[in-house]
Amino acid sequence: MTEQTSVLIIDDSAQPYLPRLRDTVPGCVFHGCDAGEKVQDALARVRPEIVFGLHCPTYPAFSHAVALGCDSVKWLHNGGAGIDHLPAWDPERITVTNSAGVSSRFMAETVTGAILMMNFRFPEYFAQQRAHVWEKLPWESLSSKTVLVIGLGGIGTLVAQRLRTFGAYVIGARRSLRPCADVDEQIAMADLHDALPRADYVCIHVPNTDETQNLVDAAFLKRMKPTARLINTARGAQVDEAALVAALRAGQIAGAYLDVFRTEPLPAESSFWDLPGVVISPHYADAAEGWKSASAAFFAENLRRYMNGSPLQNMCDPAAGY
């Protein structure tokens, strides 16, 4: 009898997609973490060759990172896109892949919605509604606005596409310039500060690396227009939060939509909760219903490739950080 490949799934709600995994790759046996079981204990019990890790309420965020220290594991698939939570690994010993691109359209919808919401000044209207105030607020069409999209990967490209359908002028910033039909103008990251005074909305869509941490600092914010707004759905570490709070309080920028923070959950005493012009969501901008099943479907295809000896999709580079 052929020995089956052992796969550990770190997710407390895997039942909807388990049948698809079993049907796609019959040569594997799938294990879950028992109720209340620590990930380290599950790794010792199962001794898996493959680990598929997702965010779930039962475990602390990124619990599957400990799989990199398990000597039986040859491949770890991160069910999300970002891998900045993973410790360094030896790519000669273990392969790491991610689900980058799976939730890109969900994130792009959220970012587009946030910009439309702020452009029509919904936050101010919500405040007026609570105060029973009837006052018309001036606004301009998105077709008269310039949006700076920082990062033209899967998410940034989709954001650019959607905003251009509304007639917005989109400037895309990326590290390595190459042809891109999805933006009106393209600049190098080195020229970012030169473009900031032109932008009405600035969206961050870059991975969290040493290069991008504190990307948005006091100098960055000083270059933005007083009427501009910041959108961050990438990582909290990319923003100097003290500088952003100071800029918002001083009226250096008009507002922000923030889905990610350095400390999550966002502490109750955080200044962001009560700052005018700030809209907050709980790191959920790409988590539309069905995202786990979509990530599992991507993993299933990669698992089929793994079993067939074919190249895997979305290979991660520990040196690059993505």
DSSP string, 148-187: EEE--SHHHHHHHHHHHHTT-EEEEEESS----TTSSEEE
Residue corresponding to tokens 């691109």: 101
Q: What is the DSSP letter of 213?
A: T
Find how far residue 249's CA is from the centre of its chain.
27
Report the alpha-carbon distance of residue 258 to residue 236 in Å, rounded: 9
Q: Which CA distances in Å does 302 have to 116, 295, 315? A: 36, 11, 10
**Active-site residue identified among 55, 64, 235, 241:** 235
Farthest CA pair distance, the chain: 76
Nearest-CA neighbor of 207 among 245, 148, 141, 154?
A: 154
Q: What is the pTM of this model?
A: 0.91
Q: How many percent of the chain have pLDDT more than 70?
A: 96
CA distance 322 to 302: 17
Q: Which residue in the list 22, 264, 289, 301 is annotated as catalytic?
A: 264
Domains of the chain: 5-102+289-308 (3.40.50.720), 104-280 (3.40.50.720)
Active site residue 264: yes
CA atoms within 13 A on the CB side of 83: 24
Tens digit of each residue's pLDDT (9 = 90 or more) over 157-168: 999 999 999 999
Q: By the 8 A CB rule, do 171 and 196 touch?
A: no
Among candidate residues 77, 162, 229, 283, the one labeled active-site is: 283
| Average pLDDT estimate for 18-27 | 86
pLDDT averaged over every residue in the chain: 94
d(CA 86, CA 208): 12
Q: Which residues contact 128 (CB under 8 A, 6 or more apart)?
A: 134, 135
Q: What pLDDT score does 60 carry?
A: 63
> What's the pLDDT tens digit per position in 237-280?
999 999 999 999 999 999 999 999 999 999 999 999 999 999 99
Q: Is 162 a catalytic residue?
A: no
305 is catalytic: no
Quick one: pLDDT at residue 37?
81
Tens digits of residue pLDDT in 33-62: 866 688 899 999 999 999 999 876 656 666
Cα–Cα distance for residue pair 322/317, rounded to 1 Å: 6
Taking the C-alpha atoms of residue 168 and residue 244, their distance in angstroms, rounded to an integer, is: 25
Residue 104: closest CA among 236, 289, 291: 291
Per-residue pLDDT at 1: 41
